[in-house]
Structure formats: C-alpha cells, structure tokens
Amino acid sequence: MATSPKNWTKEPKMSCNAAPARGRSRGGSPAHAHRAPAGAGAEAAALAAEQQQQQGSGSGGGARVGLCLLCGLPAAGKSSLARALCRRLRQRPDWACALLHYDELIPDEAFRARAPGAGPREPLPLVPGWKQSRRELLQCLEGLLRALLTGAPLPGPAQPGWERFLRCCRREGLLEAAQGDGGAPARPLCLLLDDNFYYQSMRYEVYQLARKYSLGFCQLFLDCPLECCLQRNRLRSDPVPEQTIHLMARKIEMPDLKKNAWEQHSLILRSSDCISEDNEQIINLLATALENPARPNEEDTEQKDTDRAICAASAVHQADQACRRVISQAMKDARDKNVPPSEMKSLAEELNKLKAEFLEDLRQGKTLKNQNSDPATSVISSFQREATNVVNKYILK
C-alpha cells in the first residue's frame, strides 16, 4: 500500500474550548497487548497483508520499527492525539505501538533556573539543564533502539534519567520486547515521541537515529493558533508560562519539504482541536514511513553537506555571540585604562575585523580543532587570546 511521500494538511474542524492534557498520563495498555479490531477498515487489512508478505519473504531481518514525532506548541493537542492514536494502533492486528512523553522523561528541575526558590519555569532555551536533559534522553532512546533491533543487552545507567526512562519503557511494554530472544520485535513497532520539537534541529537529531538504524521516520505537526493554545493552557492544572509559549510561537519551525528531503514523511494538521486518531492520512503516513525507512547515507555527499551546514551554522552563531561579548569586555577594559577616544575607534575596527576573519575561517572549516573541544570553542578561545594581544597594544603604548 505504498503511497508517494507528500505533505498532507487537514483544515480546522472544531473550537478550542477543551484543554488537552499534558503528556504525563500513566495509563494505557502495554505495547505487547493487542485486541482484534472491530471493523478496522481497508487500511488495517492492507497493513495486515503487508506484514504477512514481509513475514513470508524469509528475510529474517525482524519487523520494521518507525519513529513518529508529534510536534507543535504547548496545548496544541499533541498528547491527546498521541494517546488516542496509540490506543487505536494497538487495536490493529500485527501492530505494536508505544508512546514516550518527553514531559515525563525530562525531570522538572531541568525546566527551572538553578537558583533555589527560582519560582515558575523559565523560557526553555534559557534554562541550562534543559538542553543537557534532551541530549541524555536521546542517548537513552538510542540504547533502547539498539536493544530492540539487535537483541543486545540494555545499557547500564550511564545517564541520570536512565531509570526514569526505563520506567516509562516498562509501562509501555518495551522492555519485554527489548529483552526478548529474537532481537527486533515480531510486529511492526510504531514508537510515538510526544514533544514540542519546535526547532528543526531537534527533529533532525531523531532523524539521524532513524537513519543510523534504518528506521521509519515521520512527523505529525499540529498547527494550532497561538491564542487557542494560550486559552487551553490557562485551563491546565500545571500551565506552561505564557512567555514560553510566545517564545516558541516566534521560533517554531514547521516541516519544510522543499528544503529538507528528510522531512518528506510529514503531515501538518491544521486544526484548533483534537484530530481523530482514525484519520486515514495519519494511518497512511505511518505505514508509508515504515515501508520506506531512512537509509544510512555513506556516500550521500549532498546529505553530508546538509549535515555540515546545520552544524556549521550553529557553531558560527555560538562563536559570533561569544566573540561579541569578548569585544565588549575588551572595549570596557580599554576605556578603564584611559585609551584616547580616537584610538578607541581604531581598536573597535581592528577587533571587529579580527572577529570577521575568525568566523570566516570557522565557516570554511579552516580552524585548528582542539582535541578536547569543538570548533566553536576553539575559535572563541583563540579569538580571546588574539583580542587580548590587540588591546594590550593600545593600553601599553
């Protein structure tokens, strides 16, 4: 039942009076528990036939695994759709489904400032522990996938959140599958990841896992109006700070099929309320992603260039911001040492020219990478040394 990859959309149908629940539900049957569906429909029959064909092919490679990302603003309806979709998929024959809520997997303290009694959550990009927790969660997910696909033992608790991650996996029935004798699960497994994923780079990190292990990959992006999300959020028992939602709304990056081939299996649901889990487009998207898993691109120069561009852009931005701070401090030091105004202008020009040269070298990959640091950190350190030398020329005249 292969379908050509596309970006599907669904128009709004209902109002936004209901408040979608946060992704902290503990309920739901485990991934290994299935019931025969009542009137599953044509797509269920097609899925069953597809699975029978795969099982009869004698490939011996185990069943397929797919990662499905649910993306969008807080209170867009992601968690409600994820739970309903997971229940629906578990009713289908020869289909396994598990749901991982990032709200459950990232500790509350990661959303808060580190100072005691800091009060309500800060905007997420400003919280130091938040990015670290996401990186650790991605490592936990990779450990689970490796165990599911290869039958390898689950890794030890290398990350602080490993036990929390295992509890969620156990509830979803994933540990039984990972610790079984046959490596990959016997049925296609759809692993739903419920998070905001508002930056393209956040989603791309998960795609890289899918590509590394040849998994299906798709995205459900809930495009809900900001005011609707704010209204729903106010009805929650534990609302997200509105400044966080406003910040995400300004920065959120929708799937871009024209620019990113890796986002080809994406469905943008334009709705101000919950989407039906029986939506045929959603089921088709999941099936298509499973039938067309991401492949390791050992010789894909274009993809490697894209990867490098994403990493380089992030590194250049990081270095640029740090170098600006170095220049600001250098100018302050020069003023404190009574450098004449006429020379202050020359100093600023020289420092900015130096910064431009360092950043251009970083863009071109010409920097000498320190063995113990990333390119951006090396550039910042080198620029700081050179900037100090330049300032000293003016101060010691």
pLDDT given for residue 178 in this prediction: 57
| CA–CA separation, 235 and 72 (whole Å) | 18
pLDDT given for residue 64 in this prediction: 80
From the list 248, 178, 196, 199, the residue with the least C-alpha distance to 77 is: 196
Interaxial angle between packed helices 301-336 and 375-395, expressed in degrees from 0 to 180 and rounded to the nearest 10: 30
**Per-residue pLDDT averaged across 99-107, rounded?**
85
**Per-residue pLDDT averaged across 3-16, rounded?**
42
Q: List residues bridging with 192 in a β-sheet.
A: 68, 99
Residue 294 confidence (pLDDT) above 90: yes
Q: What percent of the chain has pLDDT over 90?
A: 30
Interaxial angle between packed helices 226-234 and 242-251, expressed in degrees from 0 to 180 and rounded to the nearest 10: 160
**3-class secondary structure, 115:** coil
**Alpha carbon 85 to chain centroid, angstroms:** 20
Kindly tell me the sign of the dihedral angle through the C-alpha atoms of 143, 145, 150, 151.
positive
Pairing of strands 65-72, 216-222: parallel
Residue 70 confidence (pLDDT) above 90: yes
What residues contact 340, with CB distance under 8 A and at least 6 apart? none
Q: What class is the 7-36+60-296 domain?
A: alpha beta
Weakest-pLDDT range from 37-51, 174-188, 295-309, 314-328 = 37-51
Q: pLDDT tens across 114-131, in order?
A: 444 545 544 444 445 667
The average confidence (pLDDT) of the chain is 76
In the block, residue with structure tokens 């045929």: 280
**Per-residue pLDDT averaged across 136-157, rounded?**
84
Residue span(s) of the chain under CATH 3.40.50.300 come to 7-36+60-296
Q: Which amino acid is at 34?
A: H
| CA–CA separation, 210 and 145 (whole Å) | 9
What tokens appear for 243 in the block?
């400044």
**Per-residue pLDDT averaged across 158-183, rounded?**
74
What tokens appear for 302 in the block?
């274009």
Q: How many C-beta neighbours within 10 Å does residue 249 have?
A: 16
Weakest-pLDDT range from 10-24, 27-41, 122-136, 379-393 = 27-41
| CA–CA separation, 155 and 144 (whole Å) | 8
* Of 295 and 35, the one with more pLDDT: 295
pLDDT given for residue 217 in this prediction: 97
- CA separation (Å) from 372 to 309, 337, 342, 375, 382? 22, 35, 40, 10, 14
Residue 2 confidence (pLDDT) above 80: no
Q: Which long-range contacts (CB under 8 A, 24 or more apart) does 306-311 make?
A: 306/260, 308/365, 310/201, 310/204
Contact 187, 94 (CB under 8 A): yes
27 burial level (CB within 10 Å; 0-12, 13-18, 19+): exposed
Highest mean pLDDT among 163-177, 192-206, 381-395: 192-206
Residue 51 confidence (pLDDT) above 50: no
- CA separation (Å) from 305 to 16, 105, 375? 42, 33, 17
What is the band of 365 on the pLDDT scale with cuts at 50, 70, 90? confident
